[in-house]
Structure 1
């Protein structure tokens, strides 16, 4: 590869995508200008050797959607003002969804790199053909480019003025009732898995990549497992070494598209994530506004993506988060009901690296995720159990005051991590400050003397934060079975 100069790149290309049924491997190909191709692969074990009819067409639509969404990892290397799709056409709905994912999902990336991406990433749209459905619509190659002067993408996808919304509706495929449940090794997905088990829903725990920690958690469930392989194009790492733009991407959006493809290949009707309502709340940054590290875990993404899948990919494929009606604290309360996973789970992001090694210690004890999970669980389980899980008492370490201050949004903004809202952290610490077993710990005492007096007492009550919310995409019959258990 010749030297890469991100400032000289003018165009990003979605070159092509294909799926080999005999190997279960999807290939997603990208390029900058006329430079070398970058090929990512996604391997889905157990894919059927042959697909026919409507299901084959749905797989093609899902594959193209994945191609577009996964391209965010590569586009960000140069963020050029022009984008083209070499091999297929898309409609206005598809462009609106994908543009929204790039704009909002790259929010933290843009903030950290001092970039303004509003209106920059625009996909070419072709008029819908009689047989076209969303990302799978047939048509001539869309090679038109989109310029930086185009209008900004709105938070929720709307029909583009460049083309009318396609009139086609995705078919009902007759998928069997079964859930692919994303497992990430942390408390949230384990709460979902056990809730579905209790509700009598057949499920397969599913993860992407080679993490041994996630595999150990998956094995602990005793349920069927599906480990999907994802290999990024090696050229991307070389671009990073040569000074490409780099930073956080909306990985949950990519994983969602991968799992939609996997669900169709498996012939099942549900893709289940475990994103709580707190994920919709970002970091409030003075002079900038809200930047949400976990935007693709939030409600706006879930609603837009789930509706798109049912309208354009398969009408009977349900994408939803089982924990959307719950706050982080409510999820922690659910997790604390059993100690079955205490020695296996970890939410510490320092444990999840591309190489996938399983760390000796499951909790680093110093990152925002460790801080928040410790704090969220503390009101709901015995102190001895929590300290045993983490190996030490994080709230009795004065050196970690700054990390907990950020969680509280005290003289700092919420960390760029998948952690709960500031009000949840404040309510959790206020709860601990009133308990004899916790109130003498260094950081609890500091909160009680320094921070709590500046806060209104009615804002520190934990009970309102445990109330079930009505905003979700959980199928109605399933939600009726779950609601009572979640509220208890």
Structure 2
């Protein structure tokens, strides 16, 4: 393979995509200039698939959308100014959606690498697209599970609401598999293998960094739902995901942009209009804050020994779980702090193996969550106001207020805050826009408000 020079790349090519119904394998092919092809594979269990002409056409539309969105992993290696689509044509609406995903979903990547991507990624547009028909999909939900508290809250809420569901995840994580199996529900493990050439490019100095993985996973789930013949793809992203890190001199950069409302609204609407009219994509937790989700999770201890939100357990080249919680990353810090107001101290310490709030060495990490002398971490964590409210609540609790970081909060940080903005109760209210089907929302709203 010729040495890769990210500064000399002129063109990124969406070469082709194909799906084999007899094997359930989709192939997504990309290339830079006239370099070697990079082939990513997606595997959907259940083959061979017998598809009507209408459903086969919808699968092809979903496949092309996935091809375009998943290309973000490869495009970022060189970020050239020219982009081509070799095998098919797309319309202006699809181009606008995908361009938005690349611009905003690569926001953190661009910030960390000192790049300006505004106006750089432009897709060629040719022709119009017809509205998608309804396919007669079965009432059933593919529910994405990531091993953390949020998806488990969704899964149990759907169960109580009487929705048939299949717990679905992408990749080979044994930790997620164990969590999925704990639900006792049907499971679906989708395979995703990135092109090995991408890792070689990274070794040769390609641009690298965070991508909008939830956007990619959403597109994979849509393909899987069409092949399974079901009418719902459900994620568990709360309204806090729409709030990014406020960077002085730069503005807002949202690490979890593709978990936010702007992406969900645009993607879900596009799928219904142009892929399958009766396929609904939504987040069941969108009207909730992170604290509201934590309160809901704390109502049962059924998953205490199984869940983990610690991202250090999940790596693109395989997980390395020594403990389910490392105790020092932003996700561990935030989940500990968010759960603390809603469960006993003994239970929380049992889950994490130690009391993270009684360790002064962790002060900097918690300060970032509080947006005190630092910006919100580039992680999937709640808003600064949620962390401040949770910490202020603990400051009033006899069993917490003597812990080192809670005491420090009272002495150094609390006097600088507006006491009117530290109440937890307003943050537990269900509010904001969402895409949850109306009849289902009526059933789960009472459940979440209880």
- Say yes or no: does 1:392 pair with 2:362: no
Alignment correspondent of 1:13: 13
Correspondent of 1:477 among 439, 443, 448: 439
Secondary structure (helix, strand or coil) at the match of 2:180 reads: helix
Secondary structure (helix, strand or coil) at the match of 1:7 reads: coil
Report the alpha carbon displacement of residue 47 of structure 1 after superposing the two structures with TM.
3.7
Correspondent of 2:407 among 426, 445, 468: 445
Report the alpha carbon displacement of residue 230 of structure 1 after superposing the two structures with TM.
0.2
Alignment correspondent of 1:112: 112
Q: Distance in 2 between matches of 1:38 and 1:127?
A: 27
**CA displacement 1:136-174 (0-9 Å, x = unmatched):** xxxxxxxxxxxxxxxxxxxxxxxxxxxxxxxx2110000
Report the alpha carbon displacement of residue 274 of structure 1 after superposing the two structures with TM.
0.2
Alignment correspondent of 1:82: 82
Contact 2:49-2:227 at 8 Å conserved across structures: no
Alignment correspondent of 2:46: 46
Alignment correspondent of 1:147: none
Alignment correspondent of 1:468: 430
Contact 1:48-1:265 at 8 Å conserved across structures: no
Secondary structure (helix, strand or coil) at the match of 1:31 reads: strand
Q: Distance in 2 between matches of 1:230 and 1:216?
A: 19
Correspondent of 1:178 among 133, 140, 156: 140
Alignment correspondent of 2:59: 59
Q: 5 Å matches for 1:334-413? A: 334-357=296-319, 359-413=321-375
Report the alpha carbon displacement of residue 51 of structure 1 after superposing the two structures with TM.
1.7
Alignment correspondent of 2:22: 22
Deviates more, 1:446-455 or 1:47-56: 47-56
- Say yes or no: does 1:263 pair with 2:225: yes
Contact 1:47-1:266 at 8 Å conserved across structures: no
Contact 1:203-1:224 at 8 Å conserved across structures: yes
Q: Which runs of 5+ in 1 are unaligned?
A: 134-167
Deviates more, 1:346-355 or 1:32-41: 346-355
Q: Distance in 1 between matches of 2:50 and 2:225?
A: 15
Q: Distance in 1 between matches of 2:403 and 2:260?
A: 34
**CA displacement 1:225-274 (0-9 Å, x = unmatched):** 00000000000000000000000000000000000000000000000000
Alignment correspondent of 1:300: 262
Q: Distance in 2 between matches of 1:299 and 1:87?
A: 32
- Say yes or no: does 1:233 pair with 2:195: yes
**TM-score of the two chains, using structure 2 as the length reference:** 0.99
Alignment correspondent of 2:126: 126
Q: Distance in 1 between matches of 2:29 and 2:69?
A: 12
Q: Which runs of 5+ in 2 are unaligned?
A: none
> Which contiguous aligned blocks of 4+ residues in structure 1 show a shift greater than 6 angstroms?
none
Q: Distance in 1 between matches of 2:85 and 2:229?
A: 29
Contact 2:23-2:48 at 8 Å conserved across structures: no
| Equivalences, count | 450
**TM-score of the two chains, using structure 1 as the length reference:** 0.92
**CA displacement 1:90-129 (0-9 Å, x = unmatched):** 000000000000000000000000000000000000022x
What is the alpha-carbon root mean square deviation over aligned residues? 0.7
Correspondent of 2:171 among 204, 209, 222: 209
